[in-house]
Amino acid sequence: MLLDWIAASLIAIGAVFFVAGTVGLLRFPDIYCRLHALTKADGLGLALVAFGVALLADSAGEVFRILLIWFFVALASATCGHLIARYARQSGEGDAHD
């Protein structure tokens, strides 16, 4: 029961971070700042959701898969953030404010 509560809170906080990421995506002025929002806020949001769900998991296998998911999402998000930023700098797209 306690576990459920902890999981629920983790998931809820995770959702808040997702919302924050979206808000950042919409509000921040340029692509680099938005990248900050995405990589950090969404990354943490997913991590919280993942841990929350992992707490509720039925088997160790599931937990392992959830961890795997988290690990790769985090890795991919950092890598992709870097790639996009690099691309934006090289293409000059990052200079375009909108």
Restricting to residues 34-53, name those near another protein by CB under 8 A.
34-47, 49-50, 53
**Distances, alpha carbon 80 to alpha carbons 8, 9, 60, in Å:** 29, 29, 30
85 in contact with another protein (CB under 8 A): yes
3 in contact with another protein (CB under 8 A): no
Residue 36, burial from CB neighbour count under 10 angstroms (0-12, 13-18, 19+): middle
Structure tokens at 50: 């993942």
Q: What are phi and psi of 75, to 5 degrees?
A: -60, -45
16 in contact with another protein (CB under 8 A): yes
6 in contact with another protein (CB under 8 A): no
In angstroms, the CA 53 to CA 83 distance is 30
Smallest separation, CB 31 to another protein (Å): 5
Size of the site for another protein (CB under 8 A): 76
Residue list 62-81, contact with another protein (CB under 8 A): 62, 64-66, 68-69, 72-81
